Structure 1
Amino acid sequence: MRVFRLFLLGLYRLLALVLTPLWLAVLLVRVVQGKEDPRRVMERLGWPTCRRPPGPLVWFHAASVGELNSLLPVLRELRGRAGAPGVLITTVTRTSATLAARVLPAGVIHQFVPIDHWLAFLPFRWHWRPRLGLLSEAELWPELVEAMPHLQLINARMSERSFRRHQRFPWYAGWLLSRVEVCLAQSQADAVRFGRLGARDVRAVGSTKLDAAPPPVDAGHLQRLQQLFAGRPVLVLASSHPGEEQQWLRAWCGGNLAGRGFGLLLVPRHPQRAGEVADLVRSCGLVATLWSEWASGAGASVPTASPADVLVADVIGEMGTWIAAATVVVMGGSFYPLGQPHGGQNPLEPAALGRPVVCGPDMANFSDLIDPLVAAGCLQQCADVDGALAAALPLLEQAAAAPLAARALQAPSARLRWQGPSTLVAELVWARCR
């Protein structure tokens, strides 16, 4: 197996070398499109922009915002121990880098992960020399996997669709998973799939997201949101993907819900799409306000007697505030935007803040949480947007009829008694690095 793995790695590196101009062209296009930070693009080529701390170093990789948030409980457990090792976190997206600057504990280093090319990983590995690598969820790339020593998968998940795709090329999955020493899966179903593909030491332990604290709420921003909506009951479409806003605006306008005294808060998964989303709102004949304009005072001229029909969030790190302003929260990524499965977004955040949650049919990324949330009365899962709106409408109407009793609409999150594997992950890191 080792000889076969080395053969595949050599073949991959030879192909990468031949395609180096294409790798660089793609990176340049991403810079032009705003998907890469031009000030830190050298990190994507493997050149570090921070000094390495002395002593052992643990390397966590989280592709984007959700994966980064899921690591915070682990970092809290780890950094609370005397003599804790240094921590490096790499991510891919600009939004995750912005969030990292706000939420990572002091002393934790953030870098963009290099492109999956061995020439990019050479300076990266030489500089950082990590003792242990932990990969969140299932971001399996050959050079990334090869670069992470004593690799551990945490929050590992694999949908049935991905599993079937890997089964067509079992040698590829076997090659990558042969590097994994420990695989901590989110559910028993995930554990079975990883085991059937050849992963070793697979354990179904849940997700570290279960250990996350509720997202913070900015009291001042919440007051401004309430001023903007002038007491209207508010539906929040959280972490929406391209195509979902069109679906919801079509249903919202079809029911004339703005005219019935309800507010809509759209929170695109990627804030850079906010202008595009605001244009969609205006094309429906509704008043759209960007949060950054309102919060900076440019939107203060909007009279509270004529509140905005739709607010579009265009900043990150405020999800707790958006949820706190909501009467009901709809999870994006769950309505097959543009016909593509996304697996849904994290329903634990609104549940933890006591808000009723509605989602669409595609919650594959959180399949192990749906039944407990439904049983606890925190969530309703619906077949489509029309069904989800029908489920949310009574909550909006109830809040409109009795605004002072709106707290009664809160989901019974006190019934949720889950514990994730953050302590276990911290123990595994500690055992390897002390």
Structure 2
Amino acid sequence: MSGRLARVALAGYRWAGVAAYPLLTSYLAYRAAKGKEDRARRMERFGYPSVDRPEGPLAWFHAASVGETMAVTPLIRELRRRDIHVVLTTGTTTSAKLAASRLGDQAIHQYVPLDLKPAISRFLGYWQPDVAIIAESEIWPMTIMELGNRHIPQILVNARMSDRSFARWQRRPSLAEALFENLALVIAQSDVDAERFRDLGALPVMISGNLKGDNDTPPADPAALASYRRQIGARRTWAAISTFEGEEAAAATVHKTLKEHDGQLTIIVPRHPERSDDIEAMLVDRGLNVARRTRGDAITPETDVFLGDTIGEMGLYLRLTEIAFVGRSLFAQGGQNPIEPAMLGCAILSGGHVQNFRDTYQRLARNGSARMVRDVEMLTRAVHYLFINDDARQAMIDAGLETVQEMRGALAATLKGLEPYINPLTVKARLQPRNLAQG
């Protein structure tokens, strides 16, 4: 695709969005009915604000979902320590709830505007961000072009480029260059990610490592943790976390196969809690006794599965076990981030489809803290092996904690890269009258 055709394609994308704009109210209403949109805040998706803009410098952070929100949380806190206001946009209701629990009033949360010129223009016109900081791999053409037109620096942090996305952009090199040349800076997770962004036309590019390694240990309600530990008693436990469709059934198969020998409790934490009713029905159909966190069910000796159907409580669930299978890896593609279970002292098991977190898994596996399984049978054998081999399990736990410690430092590297953009905002914020700076 030539540069001229790339410009034509972007113009076509813009006008297609304008044509579709009147139809999107019905579409968002449909998504709200299915629990995928916040009905009371739907207008934020069209760029209409729901709160006042504070006076003073403001950074716009965008984090598509839960993982990205967790990644940028320490970065947001650092900007707030510098008196820079933050508006954080996310695209899902689960990430909105996580932002509220992790950040409170440290950031103003809005749902991300649709990638359409009227919505983006309205959003940018109201919030007037001094800088846009986008997490990981969110590339929205109209948003990038509008930020470029307004000369607002836009920076990708914790940036990664999956195999599939890279192949797709490679087929449209002129279009990629027309978009990526608008980026003021890309701060990539790994050497591979950095090289891919450079190949697609992004400059400058630097490498920071993974910001998730600098997150605080996920919290847990002390009272709930103590209560569940008493209820579980001496039973062995293992967890299947961040699971996608099919992986809960795999966990059920593992449980039924091992139950006679190990008498274990299985903890299942689906990536999308709104699927929990269907998951429970499947487990009950298989003859399993289920306790759910949202119902406040007690874990009794007869409980087979504890279903962690809440948001923002991974720290609780992982503290109840020392073995964690990380989902979206056995049947679904891409994987989920294994840093939290490593950070909380779990031996990690995973399927082989972890392309989105290849570098992290390679480091964990190389240090002996993660093992990959091909299928349900191999997962069953791995769980049983770790149940009965205390030394092997502890070695994996120790290796995971050591690996996480080695991975720290991404926050400092990212802040160093951001200095030319945030230092002037810090000075501006601190020169303001105090009552304005606090907004």
Return the TM-score normalized by structure 1. Answer: 0.89
Q: Is the 8 A contact 1:361 1:384 kept in 2?
A: no
Cα distance between partner residues in 2 of 1:136 and 1:90: 11
Aligned residue runs from structure 1 range 356-375, under 5 A: 356-375=347-366
Cα distance between partner residues in 2 of 1:312 and 1:62: 27
Taking a change above 3 Å as real, the CA distance of residues 166 and 2 of structure 1, as seen in their structure-2 partners, is closer
Taking a change above 3 Å as real, the CA distance of residues 172 and 6 of structure 1, as seen in their structure-2 partners, is closer
Identity over the aligned pairs, expressed in percent? 35
Alignment match, 2:398 = 411
Q: How far is the alpha carbon of 1:60 from its aligned partner? A: 0.6
Q: Which amino acid aligns with 2:112?
A: V
- What is the aligned-residue RMSD (CA, Å)? 2.3
Q: Which amino acid aligns with 2:189?
A: Q
Alignment match, 2:122 = 123
Alignment of 1:180 with 2:221, yes or no, is no
Q: Is the 8 A contact 2:258 2:384 kept in 1?
A: no
Alignment of 1:235 with 2:235, yes or no, is no
Aligned residue runs from structure 1 range 196-275, under 5 A: 196-253=199-256, 255-257=257-259, 260-275=262-277
Alignment match, 2:13 = 12
Alignment match, 1:423 = 412
Q: Is the 8 A contact 2:342 2:401 kept in 1?
A: no
Cα distance between partner residues in 2 of 1:22 and 1:2: 31
* CA deviation string 1:236-268 (max 9, x = no partner): 111111221122223432x14267301111000
Aligned residue runs from structure 1 range 141-152, under 5 A: 141-148=140-147, 149-152=152-155
Cα distance between partner residues in 1 of 2:106 and 2:215: 20
Taking a change above 3 Å as real, the CA distance of residues 222 and 142 of structure 1, as seen in their structure-2 partners, is same
Taking a change above 3 Å as real, the CA distance of residues 312 and 147 of structure 1, as seen in their structure-2 partners, is farther
Identify which range, 32-41 or 143-152, moves more after superposition: 143-152
User: Secondary structure, in 3 states, of the residue corresponding to 1:19?
Assistant: helix
Taking a change above 3 Å as real, the CA distance of residues 426 and 232 of structure 1, as seen in their structure-2 partners, is same
Q: Is the 8 A contact 1:229 1:307 kept in 2?
A: no
Find runs of 4+ consecutive structure 1 residues off by over 4 angstroms: 1-8, 405-409
Q: Is the 8 A contact 1:228 1:308 kept in 2?
A: no
Identify which range, 49-58 or 18-27, moves more after superposition: 18-27
Alignment of 1:321 with 2:308, yes or no, is no
2:289 to 276, 287, 290: 287
Structure ranking higher in helix proportion: 2
Cα distance between partner residues in 2 of 1:279 and 1:227: 27
Q: Is the 8 A contact 1:230 1:307 kept in 2?
A: no
Taking a change above 3 Å as real, the CA distance of residues 268 and 279 of structure 1, as seen in their structure-2 partners, is same
Cα distance between partner residues in 1 of 2:92 and 2:234: 36
Q: Which amino acid aligns with 2:398?
A: A
Q: Is the 8 A contact 1:238 1:269 kept in 2?
A: yes
Q: How far is the alpha carbon of 1:109 from its aligned partner? A: 0.7
Q: Which amino acid aligns with 1:60?
A: F
Where does structure 2 lack aligned partners over 5 or more consecutive residues? Answer: 427-439
Alignment of 1:156 with 2:159, yes or no, is yes
Where does structure 1 lack aligned partners over 5 or more consecutive residues? Answer: none
Q: Which amino acid aligns with 1:379?
A: A
User: Secondary structure, in 3 states, of the residue corresponding to 2:407?
Assistant: coil
Alignment match, 1:80 = 81
Equivalenced residue count is 416
Q: Which amino acid aligns with 2:422?
A: W
Return the TM-score normalized by structure 2. Answer: 0.88
User: Secondary structure, in 3 states, of the residue corresponding to 2:86?
Assistant: strand
Q: Which amino acid aligns with 2:69?
A: L
User: Secondary structure, in 3 states, of the residue corresponding to 1:40?
Assistant: helix
* CA deviation string 1:111-147 (max 9, x = no partner): 1001111111222111100010011011111122234
Q: How far is the alpha carbon of 1:398 from its aligned partner? A: 4.3
Cα distance between partner residues in 2 of 1:166 and 1:6: 15
Alignment match, 1:171 = 174
* CA deviation string 1:171-213 (max 9, x = no partner): 3322221211111111111111111111111122212112111
